[in-house]
Amino acid sequence: MTRILATGTFDLLHPGHIYFLTQARALGDELFVIVARDSNVTHKPKPIVPEEQRLEMVSALGIVDKALLGSEKDMFEPLKQIRPDIIALGYDQRFDAELLEKELAKRGLPANVVRIPLSKECPLCSTGAIIKEVLKRYG
């Protein structure tokens, strides 16, 4: 069994998220997803949807075998439990795949890192696009 790990904020769940998770799931036999903690989202605006609700939404997806919240202290902590074979990165995630693989190996977690190169093309396939549309209509 090949275990895949995907991570993300998954705020305002949309088709781009589904595309990413579907592509990640296609890499193996079971898909684990780490949902970012509200306190750890520092590279973009804070999520609108609280972490527990985002976790509930991701957990409800049929392509996800197990979803859990990330660690507030050490992003590698949940990986020790999950022990993924492959870590799938989204096209827009800010990780350097090579550096991540080296750090994983140093921690005894020899997973391959694969970047999903594209996102789904649609008018509202990003959280930012959804927010802009809501503001245009109701702002």
Ligand-binding site membership of 38 (annotated): no
Ligand-binding site membership of 45 (annotated): no
Ligand-binding site membership of 14 (annotated): yes
Ligand-binding site membership of 17 (annotated): yes
Ligand-binding site membership of 90 (annotated): no
Here the contacts of 90-95 (C-beta below 8 Å, separation 24 or greater) are: 90/6, 90/8, 90/20, 90/115, 90/116, 90/119, 91/115, 91/116, 91/117, 91/118, 91/119, 92/119, 93/7, 93/8, 94/43
Annotated binding site: 9-10, 14-17, 92
Annotated binding site for ATP: 9-10, 14-17, 92
